[in-house]
Amino acid sequence: MEYKHQEIEKKWRDKWATDKTYAAKDFDSKPKYYVLDMFPYPSGAGLHVGHPLGYIASDIYARYKRHKGFNVLHPMGYDSFGLPAEQYAIQTGQHPEKTTETNVARYREQLDKIGFSFDWDREVRTSNPDYYKWTQWIFKQLFLSYYDTKEDKAKPIAELIAHFEKQGNEGVSAHSDYEGSFSAEEWKAKNEQDKEEILSQYRITFLADSWVNWCPALGTVLANDEIKDGVSERGGHPVEQKLMRQWSMRITAYAERLLQGLDKIDFPDSLKEQQRNWIGKSKGASVSFDIEGHNGKIEVFTTRPDTIYGVSFMVLAPEHQLVNEITSADQQAEIEAYVQAASLKTERDRQADVKNITGAFTGAFAIHPFSGEKIPVWIGDYVLASYGTGAVMAVPCGDQRDWDFAQHFGIEIKNIFKDQDISEAAYTEKDAIISNSDFLNDMPAKKAIGVAIKAIEEKGIGKGKTNYRLRDAVFSRQRYWGEPFPIYIENGVPKAIEDEFLPIELPEVDKYLPTEDGDPPLGNAENWSWCRNKKIIKSNDKQNGNCTWPMELNTMPGWAGSSWYYLRYMDPHNEDEFVSKEKAEYWGQVDLYIGGAEHATGHLLYSRFWCKFLHDMGYISFDEPFKKLINQGMILGRSSFVYRDKESGKFVTFEKRKEYKTARLHADISLVNGDKLDIEAFKKWRPEYENAEFVLNDDGEYTCGHEVEKMSKSKYNVQTPDELVERYGADTLRCYEMFLGPLEQAKPWDVQGINGVYNFLRKFKRLFHDENGQIVISDEAADKKELKSLHKAIKKVTEELDRYSFNTVVSTLMIAVNELTDLKCNKKEVLEPLTVLLSPYAPHLAEELWEKLGHSESVVYQQFPKFDESKLVEDAFAYPVSFNGKMRFKIELPTNLSKEDIEKEVMAHEKTNHYLEGKDPKKVIVVPKRIVNIVV
């Protein structure tokens, strides 16, 4: 009897599409459940078997929840703005939209073959104007808001302006870089540019000159999370620091809430840890040091104010503003040379150079605020301009870097720790007793921190302060294929374009490279400018020249569209709102979110940030987007290698490779079966191998070497799902990908075991048929053994799915099928629920069998079978688990029995009696729930 998976799967795929079987209903009496996948960037390479892993898991869960009576939202879309399509456009001139269209079509085709229960009517694409209209709109809300630190939420900037007009910036509690003060009159007297200069220091998205990561090779700026090890994450190009006028997001305003919010969401520990790390909260104090002979002060941040008497020098970052002012004449040349050298170093050089201690003395001295001592002021690139205040008070006895610096330059190292030896290294633990420190003497360090902060505050030289490592995120990119900003620049002042003109659609350009003036690609668009009559002029209308303002030429980064897409799925066709309040209220948070761990500090942090903002503005009622997150592990490729003798050019089998001088070459995995090379296929693979010669092993075969690597085209180790779907069917692929191991774990792809899963499905199908392929389903009542098998499976599958253990479910079903096959069970009473159990994993086959059972309605609408504990009791048995003067028995019994019931059960039970035969049970002791101690 054949398992015609292709036929079956096509039939149901078509039916589901026609019937819109998986459409999610807005508003339903059923409870809602929202299962989301991280939407893909549609790349030209298509899907390999690693991509659908997470989608399969989420699909299984979505189907399970439907069976459990939930109204499930399970959508899919595309993160379709991005670099590859643009680079392809630069090379070929093909519009990225076209490339994207093609790739999306291919993705869709591949996805459809795997039998996902997506509600495709809700598909979104970030590059679609109907979608990015709302990305632009949200951007505007951010632009038109500031963060009130007293109410701890974002508020409209109009309220801040009203405040300025009434009483200047006095009494303003806002997250801002602005430090000056002004009265209402002074505010009103300012011109528009000056006002904006100040406002931009309050806005949540703002345009400002800031130090950014500039990647010359990509021709764009990058956010911190787009840089790994000092080079761009995409392409690995060097990155340098540059002062540029750029859009940024004041995510730092949300640092504390982003940190606190982690406690109420169910994310993997490692990911939470990464976010905590990224936010990098540290508590301490800011302290100002006077400078001898100068008005300025050096402000430092320290986590160890208790060590203030250990300060023996100060270090400023080379970029620090004061460096020029305070440098003495005789140190001028040295300092300038050092600053110059530091500015030439890329981020990467600087990191690589950590062990090299460099610095220069400014010639200036700071005054110790307590002792009044003169402290030399140095500069050094181990102090980062971007963290804290860009200056540190150096305490060599308590900080290893300071210690190294002092040692290197022969600066004094004071010891302020009682009984600690600091001759070889700094003592960095916070458990020392402080000494040589005046009023802090004899205090344990932890106590001294508080006392020191109090003293600092009383003296008016600083205050207790919390610092965050998190930086504001650069929001503009010098690229074409992204969302245009809904912004024009009027006399140097950025202004938001009214909602009625959104979306601002991407203009056509004839080339996708920067302009000759160095403007971003949008600078190539003709008449890309804003007219006072509030329209982008389409024609080359010179006479409007005096009433048009330049448009913002940057586009938004990739994470703009992906920061809120989960909301759009709730209401994808709404033309008046990004999501209606009612629908956002109904669908609420994403209950289960599945995706890769690589977005830990990017997408997952930005989405949380935007969610909190939209919550603050009253658009949505929740302030965390994702309730539970699972990171699926990467599926790695198993590369195959052939070994070519460098002299003869012969290919040497793995066993004999050491006898020759060989070079290792990747061989396409489709030419290899169980490490044995298909020699004929290999010869045909590439023309240059046509006449290849081989040194075979003793069995006359060619064995390949192998290694586990990332799946990639260039390694010839890519397995596409398509070929497997064709050969084994989507149901097999789905089961097999789950069966491979725990979802979260990285695992090498190995097609060896797929036959086992395929056989399982065939065996499942065989329960319904006789040897001739005739349906044999019996209406007879199932016996106890059959029911036990079934209910064991129901119990386990339910428990396993409830704890997201997707891999073990397959085994459980296999066991059930094996048992029922042995029992020759063909009872409808058993097969019906069993089919529903199978349905999330192998939906096509389940539908087919469900139909064979005589049902006209889809199996999708069936309730998940309920576990009946009493069905297990019948077959309870006991066995001895240890003998040590006392005999103990483990007995399988329902867990809800009382101690007395268990005793009764044990005594009454046939098999127990069998074990106890000839013995006289005296006492039964219940240890844990299901374990019974019988003392004999």
Binding flag, residue 318, RNA (CB under 7 A): no
Q: Which stretch binds RNA (CB under 7 A): 8-16, 109-117, 385-393, 435-443?
A: 385-393
Site for RNA in 542-601 (CB under 7 A): 597, 600-601
Binding RNA by CB under 7 A: which of 62, 111, 636, 810? 810
Binding flag, residue 796, RNA (CB under 7 A): yes
Cβ of residue 549: shortest distance to RNA, in angstroms? 38
Binding flag, residue 911, RNA (CB under 7 A): no
Cβ of residue 801: shortest distance to RNA, in angstroms? 12
Interface map 403-422 toward RNA (x if CB under 7 A):
--------------------
* CA angle centred on 926, ends 923 and 930, rounded to 5°: 130
Site for RNA in 674-733 (CB under 7 A): 674
Q: Which stretch binds RNA (CB under 7 A): 14-22, 88-96, 347-355, 511-519?
A: 347-355
Site for RNA in 204-263 (CB under 7 A): 228
Site for RNA in 750-779 (CB under 7 A): 750, 752-753, 755-757, 759-760, 763
Cβ of residue 445: shortest distance to RNA, in angstroms? 13
Binding flag, residue 388, RNA (CB under 7 A): yes
Cβ of residue 604: shortest distance to RNA, in angstroms? 13
Nearest residue (CB) to RNA, 305 versus 482 = 305
Closest CA to 67 of 731, 737, 797, 741: 797
806-822 and 784-802 helices, crossing angle to 10°? 170
Q: How would you write 639-701 as a 3-class SS string?
A: EEEEEEECCCCCEECHHHHHHCCEEEEEECHHHEECCEECHHHHHHHCHHHCCCCEECCCCCC
Encoded amino acid at 926, one letter: V
Site for RNA in 851-890 (CB under 7 A): 879, 881-882, 884, 886, 888, 890
Report residue 189: phi and psi, to 5°.
-75, -15
Instruction: Give the number of other CB atoms < 10 A from CB of residue 103.
Output: 22
Nearest residue (CB) to RNA, 219 versus 280 = 280
DSSP 839: T
Rounded Cα distance between 123 and 77, Å, is 5
DSSP assignment of 169-180: TTT--B--S---
Binding RNA by CB under 7 A: which of 301, 485, 593, 606? 301
Q: Which stretch binds RNA (CB under 7 A): 648-656, 662-670, 853-861, 927-935?
A: 927-935
Binding flag, residue 273, RNA (CB under 7 A): yes
Give yes or no for a contact between 440 and 448, defined as CB atoms under 8 angstroms apart. Answer: yes
What is the rounded end-to-end Cα distance, in angstroms, of the chain? 55
Query: Between the CA of residue 880 and those of 842, 874, 890, what are the distances in Å?
Result: 40, 19, 6
| Secondary structure class of 534 (helix, strand, coil) | coil
Nearest residue (CB) to RNA, 174 versus 845 = 845
Q: Which stretch binds RNA (CB under 7 A): 146-154, 238-246, 559-567, 792-800?
A: 792-800
What are 550's strand-pairing partners?
A: 529
Nearest residue (CB) to RNA, 168 versus 238 = 238
Rounded Cα distance between 751 and 637, Å, is 10
Nearest residue (CB) to RNA, 649 versus 753 = 753
Joined tokens for residue 438: 């005046």
Binding RNA by CB under 7 A: which of 117, 302, 562, 826? 302
Binding RNA by CB under 7 A: which of 37, 79, 319, 381? 381
Rounded Cα distance between 67 and 81, Å, is 36
Site for RNA in 650-679 (CB under 7 A): 674
> Contacts with RNA: how many residues (CB under 7 A)?
80
Binding flag, residue 319, RNA (CB under 7 A): no
What are the residue ranges of helices labelled H in 149-207?
157-167, 184-189, 192-199
Binding RNA by CB under 7 A: which of 117, 201, 210, 467? 467
Q: How far is CA 696 from the centre of its chain?
A: 47
Joined tokens for residue 322: 């004061």
Binding flag, residue 811, RNA (CB under 7 A): yes
Binding flag, residue 745, RNA (CB under 7 A): yes
Q: Which stretch binds RNA (CB under 7 A): 82-90, 203-211, 302-310, 491-499?
A: 302-310
Site for RNA in 511-530 (CB under 7 A): none
Rounded Cα distance between 343 and 338, Å, is 9
Binding RNA by CB under 7 A: which of 50, 318, 390, 625? 390
What are the residue ranges of helices labelled H in 280-357?
322-326, 332-344, 347-352
Nearest residue (CB) to RNA, 217 versus 354 = 354
Cβ of residue 919: shortest distance to RNA, in angstroms? 18
* CA angle centred on 816, ends 813 and 821, rounded to 5°: 125
Nearest residue (CB) to RNA, 237 versus 747 = 747
Binding flag, residue 450, RNA (CB under 7 A): no
Binding flag, residue 311, RNA (CB under 7 A): no
Give yes or no for a contact between 104 and 44, defined as CB atoms under 8 angstroms apart. Answer: no
